């Protein structure tokens, strides 16, 4: 069998090769630079954005925010199953499943028009730059470098809570300033956060929640990266002028620290009870307003799920039983339960946190792929508890972010979110 040279290579015609070369040269130019953003122009995505521009149009005519009619192509996002992330350079917008929003750049600012669902924004400091506005119905929340959350059910009331910095709220041409430690409700206006009614997240078509975090990042390129929840691969969209353009402009929206007065009405209030952390010891959401020390206290107070009982009261004996379970296990379920049992005992009963972390690491490697076992959340919380009880450092925040993705909008998930935000 001598096949060398006997399978002829069909050459690619010049046009195909030229096209490949053109794409490679265009895309490879920035590739070697470390941390350089990939500049990939997704034609399909661009077409989608252009289509969105046509379909959705520019709806800022009656906006309470000063806007321009010169619009760059709006980006319309509608996530389905698993949510996604849109990086627009000066802000990163993470969206939950079943979320719809449109991003536009009026006068170099950013307008996130939330239709429904939940978005989280990480926003660069906007000093000397036009505002970033999250619009929930008839309410505009204007970012001036802060950390706050907005809940909106798509048709009812908006609830804004501020834990850092200041936001300006514009509704029916009436402006309100809300500072850290304060909340805002349509009926009551600006109130102390502690006096705010707890609000609950609805299940199924629940309220829209937009949380915005001020940060130092976002001075990057203008390439937006989108990963949709439909299971398709991520794609990238060029969305027009970015931070470089934004930086040189004068803010079109007055700074929140110099409030204007204006006429306007108010809406009927309707807030719903929010799920709270049982042991947080405060009426607000997951102890909002507590400092780092209290976050650690809250983490420690939060219940750790007990492992499956193996009928051994002595920890060392129980660990042996769990090890036996792993050796004899015929299913991943048993193994998963046993690993968690060992990690739990090492961390909670035996004071051997390093050993517990090693066990957790083994668990993570063992179950890195395939089915997600019920112990995954418990073991992730255990890891968070161990690491964040020691220090609220980068590793802790990384683990908290991972846990938050698993736990979602639960009390522990929100606590983890606070850790990641560095409250």
Partner 1 sequence: MAAAYVEDVLLVDRCLTGEPAATRELFRRHRNRVHACLFRVLGSNRDMDDLLQEAFLQVFQSLRGWRAEASLATWVDRVSVRVAYRYLSQRGRRIQTDELPEDDMVAGPDVGPGSRRQLARDGVRRLYAVLDELSPAARLAFTLHEIDGRSLAETAALVGSTVTATKLRVWRARKRIEAQAAQDPVLAEFLEPGTGISGEIIPFDKEAP
CB of 4 to partner 1, least distance (A): 4
Give the integer Cα–Cα distance in Å for 77 and 114: 10
Q: Contact between 233 and partner 1 (CB under 8 A)?
A: no
Residues 6 or more apart whose CB falls under 8 angstroms from that of 162 comprise 146, 147, 148, 178, 179, 180, 181, 182, 183, 184, 193
The stretch among 2-10, 187-195, 280-288, 302-310 that binds partner 1 (CB under 8 A) is: 2-10
Q: Contact between 263 and partner 1 (CB under 8 A)?
A: no
Give the integer Cα–Cα distance in Å for 257 and 177: 8
C-alpha pair distances (Å), 68 with each of 49, 65, 103, 204, 282: 19, 10, 14, 36, 44
CB of 242 to partner 1, least distance (A): 19
CB of 14 to partner 1, least distance (A): 12
Identify any residues that bridge with 132 across adjacent strands, giving them in sequence order. Answer: 110, 143
Q: Contact between 33 and partner 1 (CB under 8 A)?
A: yes
- String of contacts with partner 1 for each residue 306-345, x by CB under 8 A: ----------------------------------------
Residues 6 or more apart whose CB falls under 8 angstroms from that of 256 comprise 142, 144, 166, 167, 168, 177
The stretch among 20-28, 182-190, 236-244, 388-396 that binds partner 1 (CB under 8 A) is: 20-28
Contacting residue, 14, 16, 195, 422, with partner 1 by CB under 8 A: 16
Give the integer Cα–Cα distance in Å for 91 and 89: 6
The stretch among 25-33, 102-110, 274-282, 297-305 that binds partner 1 (CB under 8 A) is: 25-33
Q: Contact between 10 and partner 1 (CB under 8 A)?
A: yes
Contacting residue, 14, 28, 55, 258, with partner 1 by CB under 8 A: 28
Comparison of 31 and 314: residue with beta carbon closer to partner 1: 31
C-alpha pair distances (Å), 158 with each of 91, 209, 283, 296: 22, 9, 19, 30
Cβ–Cβ under 8 Å, residues 193 and 284: yes
CB of 225 to partner 1, least distance (A): 16
Contacting residue, 12, 50, 51, 314, with partner 1 by CB under 8 A: 12
Give the integer Cα–Cα distance in Å for 11 and 32: 29
Which of 185-203 are b and which e, b meaning 16 or more Cβ less than 10 Å from the residue's Cβ? bbeeeeeebeebbebbbee
Q: Contact between 232 and partner 1 (CB under 8 A)?
A: no
The stretch among 15-23, 60-68, 299-307, 393-401 that binds partner 1 (CB under 8 A) is: 15-23
Comparison of 177 and 223: residue with beta carbon closer to partner 1: 223
Comparison of 6 and 371: residue with beta carbon closer to partner 1: 6
Comparison of 3 and 368: residue with beta carbon closer to partner 1: 3
Q: Contact between 31 and partner 1 (CB under 8 A)?
A: yes
Cβ–Cβ under 8 Å, residues 412 and 403: yes
CB of 244 to partner 1, least distance (A): 18
Q: Contact between 20 and partner 1 (CB under 8 A)?
A: yes
The closest alpha carbon to 83, from 95, 100, 101, belongs to: 95
Identify any residues that bridge with 238 across adjacent strands, giving them in sequence order. Answer: 223
Q: Contact between 8 and partner 1 (CB under 8 A)?
A: yes
Q: Contact between 9 and partner 1 (CB under 8 A)?
A: yes
The closest alpha carbon to 212, from 270, 275, 142, belongs to: 142
Identify any residues that bridge with 362 across adjacent strands, giving them in sequence order. Answer: none
Cβ–Cβ under 8 Å, residues 380 and 405: no
Comparison of 28 and 263: residue with beta carbon closer to partner 1: 28
Comparison of 38 and 192: residue with beta carbon closer to partner 1: 38
What residue spans of 83-134 are helical by DSSP H?
A: none
Q: Contact between 269 and partner 1 (CB under 8 A)?
A: no
The stretch among 12-20, 187-195, 242-250, 308-316 that binds partner 1 (CB under 8 A) is: 12-20
Comparison of 4 and 55: residue with beta carbon closer to partner 1: 4
Which chain residues interact with partner 1 by CB under 8 A? 1, 3-12, 16-17, 19-21, 23-25, 27-34
């Amino acid at each position: 069998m001598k096949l060398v040279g006997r399978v002829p290579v069909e050459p690619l015609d010049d046009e195909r090769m030229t096209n490949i070369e053109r794409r490679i040269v265009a895309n490879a130019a920035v590739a070697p630079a470390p941390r350089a953003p990939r500049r990939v122009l997704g034609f399909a995505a661009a077409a989608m954005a252009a289509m969105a521009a046509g379909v959705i149009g520019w709806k800022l005519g009656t906006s309470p925010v000063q806007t321009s009619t010169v619009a760059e192509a709006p980006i319309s996002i509608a996530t389905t199953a698993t949510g996604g992330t849109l990086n627009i350079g000066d802000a990163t917008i993470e969206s939950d499943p079943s979320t719809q929003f449109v991003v536009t750049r009026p006068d170099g600012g950013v307008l996130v028009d939330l239709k429904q669902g939940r978005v989280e924004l990480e926003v660069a400091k906007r000093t000397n730059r036009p505002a970033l506005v999250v619009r929930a119905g008839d309410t505009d929340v204007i970012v001036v470098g802060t950390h706050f959350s907005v809940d909106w059910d798509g048709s009812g009331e908006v609830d804004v809570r501020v834990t850092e910095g200041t936001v300006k709220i514009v509704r029916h041409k009436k402006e309100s300033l809300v500072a850290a430690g304060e909340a805002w409700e349509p009926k009551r206006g600006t109130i102390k956060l502690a006096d705010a009614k707890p609000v609950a997240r609805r299940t199924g078509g629940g309220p829209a929640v937009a949380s915005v975090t001020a940060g130092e990042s976002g001075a990057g390129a203008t390439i937006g990266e989108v990963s949709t929840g439909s299971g398709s691969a991520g794609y990238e969209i060029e969305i027009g002028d970015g931070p470089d353009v934004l930086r040189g402009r004068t803010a079109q929206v007055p700074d929140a620290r110099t409030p204007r007065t204006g006429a306007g009405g108010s809406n009927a209030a309707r807030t719903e009870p929010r799920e709270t952390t049982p042991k947080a010891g405060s009426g607000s959401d997951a102890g909002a307003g507590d400092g780092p020390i209290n976050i650690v206290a809250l983490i420690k107070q939060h219940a750790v799920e007990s492992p499956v009982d193996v009928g051994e009261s002595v920890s060392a004996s129980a660990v042996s039983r769990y090890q036996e379970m792993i050796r004899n296990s015929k299913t991943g379920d048993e193994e998963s339960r046993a690993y968690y049992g060992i990690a739990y005992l090492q961390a909670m009963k035996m004071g051997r946190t390093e050993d517990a972390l090693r066990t957790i690491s083994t668990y993570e490697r063992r179950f890195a792929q395939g089915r997600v076992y019920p112990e995954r959340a418990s073991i992730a919380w255990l890891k968070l508890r161990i690491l964040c009880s020691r220090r609220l450092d980068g590793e802790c925040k990384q683990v908290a972010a991972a846990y938050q993705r698993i736990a979602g909008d639960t009390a522990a998930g929100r606590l983890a979110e606070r850790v990641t935000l560095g409250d």
